[in-house]
Structure 1
């Protein structure tokens, strides 16, 4: 896992991977900005205090500003999830860049439809957003929030990145079997990614790092018989 991590860091220098990162950041910024403007406008259009003598006007304005700031902070927390969602749509580009550099002997991967890639990516992003919204209830207890965040996100990131990468080489049933047999390694890989996800700025590279790292984990643990069996089952 450690070697897979450092190999994945080296893969970030690939121009194709950097291009995916740049596009994902741009799309995520546009999404976050659009949501912030929309939600701030909705909050400002809701009258909470009304025309209460003396305090009504400025208190209403203060609440509008506080609401806008709260929305902004929430979107900052969710930004990595947006980034992961968009990066997952370019999973094939990232995986091919890694495989061509390190595993040129691999045959052509299973032909995933665009819809399948979108469904997997949307599910991944939705799970990350939903669970991290739930974890916000523990934010007033920083140590608990941090440990729970690492544990939950470690499981999710390991599982979902393995699915994003693994479905290119295995059919769903074989992937489930592989994940069960390698559940400890999958979780620990996800835990490394979860720790990185908690570091501001560094978490921006998480989607690409996670994809590249899981390619290395997968290809480093599959035996020769897996290559043949998986390719045959995927082509059938």
Structure 2
């Protein structure tokens, strides 16, 4: 179920139906990362400018900015999950609607979240993901623990949030949460696939749409399996 959902999601992300949303989501992700990089380098530049030593040795100022930029490239790996979470919350309903209409045309379409709850959910998703990845970044000097913490934390958090983004289109929030908990193992494995996707440079810019498409497929398969089992029980 997980591999089939991942393959279907990857195929759908690069399809013509989602191509426009994909380009917009990548563009927004790159823009937000560029703003963060500019803020980081300007911040370091300002801090160095407060030190009198840079007056006598101006090259220290330049070196500091270069090191800040290089450090941000490393830190970007930990920032991309949070930025992807924010972008996903913006494009989730639009992307999920395309996936549902294209891959599940016989099923009733989901409903978009109202604007204010959607904004609140998106900010919550962004904040949680940012905090988790800042904690993983703090373990940067402990290589094995760091990677394990990054992967497991993102697998859990992304599995939970992306699945609920997809499920909330068809169920009240309490039911979506209960459905996720009943299928926690499969949902976590799907989150592990998304976390692995994050580790692939450049490709990880498509994480928001991949995560939405994957969890839309997984939700549909879980609900479809339950429906078939229910129908089978009624015929016995």
Question: TM-score, normalised on structure 1?
Answer: 0.84
1:170 aligns with 2:171: yes
Distance 1:4 1:108 in 2: 18
Out of 72-81 and 138-147, give the one that drifted further. 72-81
Identify the residue that residue 160 of structure 2 maps to in structure 1. 159
Where 1:184 maps in the other structure, the secondary structure is: helix
Distance 2:52 2:27 in 1: 39
Distance 2:150 2:53 in 1: 43
Where 2:138 maps in the other structure, the secondary structure is: helix
Offset from partner CA, 1:100-130 (integer Å, 9 cap, x none): 1221222232342122222222222222221
Identify the residue that residue 94 of structure 1 maps to in structure 2. 95
Residues 49 and 60 in structure 1, CA contact (< 8 A), matched pair in contact too: no
In the alignment, structure 1 segments of 5+ residues that lack a partner are 228-236
**Residues 73 and 196 from structure 1, CA distance in 2 versus in 1: closer, same or farther, beyond 3 angstroms?**
same
Identify the residue that residue 52 of structure 2 maps to in structure 1. 50
Which structure 2 residues correspond to residues 33-112 of structure 1 after superposition, within 5 A? 33-46=34-47, 47-51=49-53, 56-75=57-76, 77-112=78-113
Q: Cα distance, 1:205 vs. partner?
A: 2.3
Distance 2:53 2:195 in 1: 47
In the alignment, structure 2 segments of 5+ residues that lack a partner are 231-236
Identify the residue that residue 149 of structure 1 maps to in structure 2. 150
Identify the residue that residue 124 of structure 2 maps to in structure 1. 123
Offset from partner CA, 1:23-66 (integer Å, 9 cap, x none): 11111222222232233223222335314795x44334433432
**Residues 206 and 33 from structure 1, CA distance in 2 versus in 1: closer, same or farther, beyond 3 angstroms?**
closer
Distance 1:115 1:76 in 2: 30
**Residues 148 and 137 from structure 1, CA distance in 2 versus in 1: closer, same or farther, beyond 3 angstroms?**
same
Offset from partner CA, 1:64-110 (integer Å, 9 cap, x none): 43234334542454134323321321112211111112212222323
Residues 16 and 94 in structure 1, CA contact (< 8 A), matched pair in contact too: no
Distance 1:157 1:35 in 2: 22
Q: Cα distance, 1:168 vs. partner?
A: 0.5
Out of 207-216 and 102-111, give the one that drifted further. 102-111
Distance 2:119 2:79 in 1: 19
Alignment: residue pair count: 226
Distance 2:55 2:159 in 1: 56
Distance 2:85 2:54 in 1: 45
Residues 99 and 216 in structure 2, CA contact (< 8 A), matched pair in contact too: yes
Residues 138 and 145 in structure 1, CA contact (< 8 A), matched pair in contact too: yes
Identify the residue that residue 233 of structure 2 maps to in structure 1. none
1:140 aligns with 2:141: yes
